[in-house]
Amino acid sequence: MRKSPFRNCRNHRFAQALWCFSVRCWLLPVLFFSIGVPAHAYTGKVVDASNSRPIAQAIVTLGDRVVRTDADGRFDITGPGDEIGFRAYGYLRTWVPVTRFQGGPRDIALTPFRPKGLYLSFYGVENRMLREGALAVIRNRGMNAVVIDVKGDRGMISYKSSVALAAQVGAQRTTTIRDPEQLLDRLHRENLYVIARIVVFKDDRLAAARPDLAIKRIGGAPYKDLEGLGWVDPFNKEVWDYNAAIAVEAARLGFDEIQFDYVRFPDADGLAFSLANTMANRLRAISGFLGEARKQLVPYNVFLAADIFGYVMWNRDDTHIGLRLEEISQVVDYISPMLYPSCFRHGIPGQPSPVAHPYEIVLRSLQNGAERAGVAAIRFRPWLQAFRDYAFDNRRYGEAEIAAQIRAAETFGSDGWMLWNPRNVYFGGDADPASAKLTTPSRAC
């Protein structure tokens, strides 16, 4: 029997009572937690469903716990919860009830998968002609993924959101997805991988409604980009929390991947922020936000991606916008460089005419970035150009140019690819003039 630390106290009865009270104070909550929320240990092995080979570094989640599989695909995870989530680069995610492990270790098979998709804008997903036309392209060309705007370029959220700040700042004035769960159910029944695009720091609604969060020019005037849209301060934690909450809501709805776009500083001079605008601070801000969002998304077993400028694959600094491969690769699953030849206005080493050489631009950019940062090919999924050139000779980017880019991505071994056309019209020329008001401008790249 354990001796009371108050055994030699003069007032033994008082000491005894105090001892009992102290034990109850720390022991009862522990017992309650142990009984009310039991934590169990689970072990197993993650394998490739096509060949039964072990998958190293697969991600295993249970509640807010995360572990990685070892070189033999084995894992051990402990915690409370009803389901264990499994995902790995180049595979579809899955969940397994913890009851499956009652008989001991289990093998968990993941299905190989490379997304091959296209983009549907904030307004495009609402417009029947554009939406069904894009989905027909996916079906007819053997594609399997679609990227949908959840929070678009102007800061509007496409469906009714439960995030309180969204309504407060006017981000719900226009919604284009009446029933997101119904839409996701339809797309999943068609065996499509569905990606939620969330535009982060380019947010005209939030900047206008909350000037305290907005980026300003050094003289104090509100900053507006070339489209006349406001941005919010990437250093501000309230901005982080708002976008992370939108991502969590999208994950709960059932999107397979969260893709952050404009997760960077503006590429402009003369701006004022809440912290000094140094490269070190910028890098910490962007990786800090992505790390916080990743942490909040753990319980949902959802993939996380970030869009980056094409030149980030070449530049060794942060391109003055807070993006560098070495930091980004540590906090996301997939890196999505925008490898549009039209955006490489200065060319690349040995190739001064980008739009005439789409294959070389895509392949060499991917190779250079992966080699320099030591990141595996499967961690990249590029955006490819499916729109008319606007920077060089105004050439149409049709079947041949798109095919060349796809061939480059597949030669490299990326985790699939995505086609970008701001008008949401693919392989079919220009959009119907009647739908012009439903389109969005080309993103900066």
pLDDT by residue (tens digit) across 33-58? 444 556 799 999 999 999 999 999 99
Q: What is the pLDDT of residue 445?
A: 76
Please check whether residue 364 lies inside any domain of the structure: yes
Read off the pLDDT of residues 121-159 as tens digits, 9 standing for 90 and up. 999 999 999 999 999 999 999 999 999 999 999 999 999
Boundary residue ending a domain (56, 85, 110) = 110
Q: What is the pLDDT of residue 345?
A: 95
Contacts of 318 (CB under 8 A, 6+ apart): 279, 282, 283, 324
Q: Which residue has the higher pLDDT, 104 or 443?
A: 104
Q: CATH number of the domain that 98 lies in?
A: 2.60.40.1120
350 and 328 belong to one structural domain = yes
75 and 206 belong to one structural domain = no
129 and 64 belong to one structural domain = no
Backbone CA torsion sign across 205, 207, 210, 213: positive
Contacts of 204 (CB under 8 A, 6+ apart): 154, 155, 229, 230
C-alpha to C-alpha distance for 279 and 285, rounded to whole angstroms: 10
Please check whether residue 421 lies inside any domain of the structure: yes
- Average pLDDT (384-390) is 96
191 and 291 belong to one structural domain = yes
Please check whether residue 247 lies inside any domain of the structure: yes
Please check whether residue 21 lies inside any domain of the structure: no
The one-letter code for the residue type at 94 is T
257 and 370 belong to one structural domain = yes
128 and 144 belong to one structural domain = yes
Read off the pLDDT of residues 199-232 as tens digits, 9 standing for 90 and up. 999 999 999 999 999 999 999 999 999 999 999 9
Backbone CA torsion sign across 141, 407, 256, 442: negative
Read off the pLDDT of residues 229-243 as tens digits, 9 standing for 90 and up. 999 999 999 999 999
Q: What is the pLDDT of residue 50?
A: 98
Q: Average pLDDT, whole number, for the chain?
A: 90
- For 91, the domain range is 40-110
Q: How many domains does the chain have?
A: 2
Please check whether residue 25 lies inside any domain of the structure: no
Pair 270, 217: CB distance under 8 Å: yes
Residue 18, pLDDT > 70, answer no
Read off the pLDDT of residues 256-299 as tens digits, 9 standing for 90 and up. 999 999 999 999 999 999 999 999 999 999 999 999 999 999 99
Please check whether residue 348 lies inside any domain of the structure: yes
Residue 116, pLDDT > 50, answer yes
pLDDT bin (cut points 50, 70, 90) of residue 28 is very low
Q: What is the pLDDT of residue 215?
A: 98
417 and 279 belong to one structural domain = yes
Q: CATH number of the domain that 138 lies in?
A: 3.20.20.80
77 and 134 belong to one structural domain = no
Give the number of other Cβ atoms within 10 Å of residue 297's Cβ. Answer: 19
304 and 190 belong to one structural domain = yes
Residue 23, pLDDT > 60, answer no
Q: What is the pLDDT of residue 140?
A: 96
Boundary residue ending a domain (82, 110, 138) = 110
Please check whether residue 279 lies inside any domain of the structure: yes
Please check whether residue 316 lies inside any domain of the structure: yes
C-alpha to C-alpha distance for 445 and 238, rounded to whole angstroms: 26
100 and 150 belong to one structural domain = no
297 and 431 belong to one structural domain = yes
216 and 346 belong to one structural domain = yes
C-alpha to C-alpha distance for 164 and 334, rounded to whole angstroms: 29
Read off the pLDDT of residues 389-408 as tens digits, 9 standing for 90 and up. 999 999 999 999 999 999 99
Boundary residue ending a domain (110, 128, 154) = 110
